[in-house]
């Protein structure tokens, strides 16, 4: 397996497919998944001649399961270790959900020349939790419920989430894919319970407002209007407004996991953005 090791000794697994001299596209996955959640995008962009890179966040997938470092700053520090090791330049960073927060903070701090564009898909920025500065946010009790469900029966919780709100399979008339549900469960159960528990705080309470303001490269913000995990009104439009060079693309009725339910639509739109001027 391809891995890098962080200063605290955590081994980070990654995939690196395609020509080494091609433009890199780096994918950042959501909670509690892994780089495998990007299969549809990885194969698509590989077929278009790009260098495709995706890693498993610490405590997720095939990466190490340390006791500490399950917060956004540590996640971004790990990404820096990876991009420095591969010496990636002019890369496009694409993040889904929690990975979108990781992308926002990484790109805001990236070394000159490392990043050319970014894509935020169903992403958690600017901030999810409800507070005085974000009255439209999700109440903390919802995330407390996530933690309680994970601690009580993680295996069942990891069936309930994809079978319900993640892919919108709880909507009337939804075309349910048992394969997607099983894949979600399998990815989640590969990771560490402590990492996933602590990551709930990282994705729900981290405020990316200042990160978004610092980003000067073009950013495509993609969000489904029926996102039941990261509600549309409190995320996509707000992020696009904070970005200096942001473009919002809304998807009517699409769920949080729209990259998997509608890959043919999302892949084409990401490609058009990557190849656009």
Q: Is 96 a catalytic residue?
A: no
**CA dist., res. 106 & res. 101, Å (int):** 8
Catalytic annotation, pick one of 55, 234, 256, 260? 256
Choice among 37, 227, 234, 235 that is catalytic: 227
CA 143 to CA 128: how far, in whole Å?
A: 10
Specify whether 36 is catalytic: no
Instruction: Point out the catalytic residue in the list 34, 35, 63, 97.
Output: 97
Residue 97 designated active-site = yes
Cite the active site residues.
97, 227, 256
């Amino acid at each position: 397996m391809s891995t890098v090791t962080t200063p605290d000794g955590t081994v980070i697994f990654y995939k690196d497919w395609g020509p080494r001299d091609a433009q890199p596209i780096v994918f950042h996955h959501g909670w509690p998944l892994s780089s495998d959640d990007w299969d549809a995008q990885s194969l698509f962009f590989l077929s278009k001649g790009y260098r495709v890179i995706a890693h498993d966040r610490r405590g997720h997938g095939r990466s190490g399961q340390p006791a500490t470092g399950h917060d956004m700053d540590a996640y971004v520090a790990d990404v820096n270790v990876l991009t420095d090791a591969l010496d990636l330049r002019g890369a496009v960073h694409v993040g889904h959900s929690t990975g979108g927060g990781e992308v926002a903070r990484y790109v805001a701090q990236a070394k000159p020349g490392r990043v050319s564009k970014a894509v935020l898909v169903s992403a958690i920025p600017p901030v999810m939790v409800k507070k005085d500065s974000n009255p439209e946010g999700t109440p903390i009790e919802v995330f407390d419920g996530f933690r309680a469900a994970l601690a009580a029966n993680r295996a069942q919780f990891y069936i309930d989430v994809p079978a319900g709100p993640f892919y919108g399979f709880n909507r009337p008339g939804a075309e349910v894919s048992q394969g997607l549900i099983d894949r979600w469960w399998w990815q989640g159960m590969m990771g560490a319970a402590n990492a996933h528990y602590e990551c709930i705080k990282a994705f729900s309470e981290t405020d990316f407002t200042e990160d978004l303001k610092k980003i000067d490269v073009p950013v495509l913000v993609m969000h489904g209007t029926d996102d039941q995990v990261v509600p549309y009104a409190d995320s996509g439009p707000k992020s696009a407004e904070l970005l200096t060079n942001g473009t919002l693309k809304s998807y009517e009725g699409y769920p949080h996991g729209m990259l998997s339910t509608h890959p043919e639509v999302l892949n084409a739109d990401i490609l058009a953005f990557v190849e656009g001027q």
